[in-house]
Amino acid sequence: MKKIVLACLFLLCGLTVSAQKFAYVDTEYILKHLPDYKSSQTQLEGLSQQYQKDVDQLFAEVDKMYRAYQADQVLLTDDMRKRRENEIIEKEKKAKEIQRQKFGPEGDLFQMRTKLLKPIQEKVAKAVGEVAKIKYLDFVFDKSSESTMMIYASASFDISNDVIVKLGFKPGTVVK
């Protein structure tokens, strides 16, 4: 009798607990397969290098002004010294402001990155959602995300290649 009661109890517990299906994707791996992403990254790198070159040039001018000031300092009157110091300070403030405008959290580079990458990220997220629905998955984690820690992940749960196929590309053919 006890065996029957235990068997019924285990059966009831088994019926009430529904298994949740988990999977993960590696978005870095997926993005490497997308020509749009590679093109956007190349464009952003070029823009970043140009901005950095412009900012470096401004700071080089400030440095040049400062070295010239140091060389001439003993020959300058107090009034001339203060004027040159103010010119150097203003030039440095201008350079820092331009650096902030280009590289800051609301800067040109950040805005361009958002403009170029947001449609790609939305496309990938939509494909992940569609694959998850087809495979009846409850949760999909991003393996490459810094906020999600996965200590172990069985390769049988990786649906990255399915997402790449869904996006219309061939897995294993990384864009160069």
pLDDT value of position 10: 47
**Measured CA angle at 41 (ends 37, 44), to 5 deg:** 135
| pLDDT: which is higher, 42 or 140 | 42
Q: pLDDT band for 4, please (50, 70, 90 cuts).
A: low
Whole-prediction pTM value? Answer: 0.72
Mean of the per-residue pLDDT values for the chain? 86
- Evaluate if residue 15 carries a pLDDT over 60: no
The percent of residues in the chain predicted with pLDDT above 70, rounded, is 86
Q: pLDDT band for 101, please (50, 70, 90 cuts).
A: very high
pLDDT value of position 149: 58
Tokens at residue 137, please?
A: 């998955």
**Distance between CA atoms of 127 and 164, rounded to whole angstroms?**
8
- Evaluate if residue 90 carries a pLDDT over 90: yes
pLDDT value of position 66: 94
pLDDT value of position 11: 47
Q: How far is CA 135 from the centre of its chain?
A: 28
- Evaluate if residue 64 carries a pLDDT over 80: yes
- Evaluate if residue 83 carries a pLDDT over 60: yes
- Evaluate if residue 147 carries a pLDDT over 80: no
H-helix segments, the chain: 2-16, 27-31, 35-72, 78-103, 108-134, 160-166
- Nearest C-alpha neighbor of 69 from the set 81, 86, 77, 56: 81
Burial of 84 (0-12, 13-18, 19+ CB in 10 A): middle
Q: Which residues pair with 140 in a beta bridge?
A: 23
Question: Per-residue pLDDT tens for 113-126?
Answer: 999 999 999 999 89
**Distance between CA atoms of 131 and 137, rounded to whole angstroms?**
8
pLDDT value of position 18: 57
Q: Is 32 helix (H, G, I), strand (E, B) or coil?
A: coil
**Distance between CA atoms of 136 and 154, rounded to whole angstroms?**
18
- Evaluate if residue 6 carries a pLDDT over 90: no
pLDDT value of position 8: 45
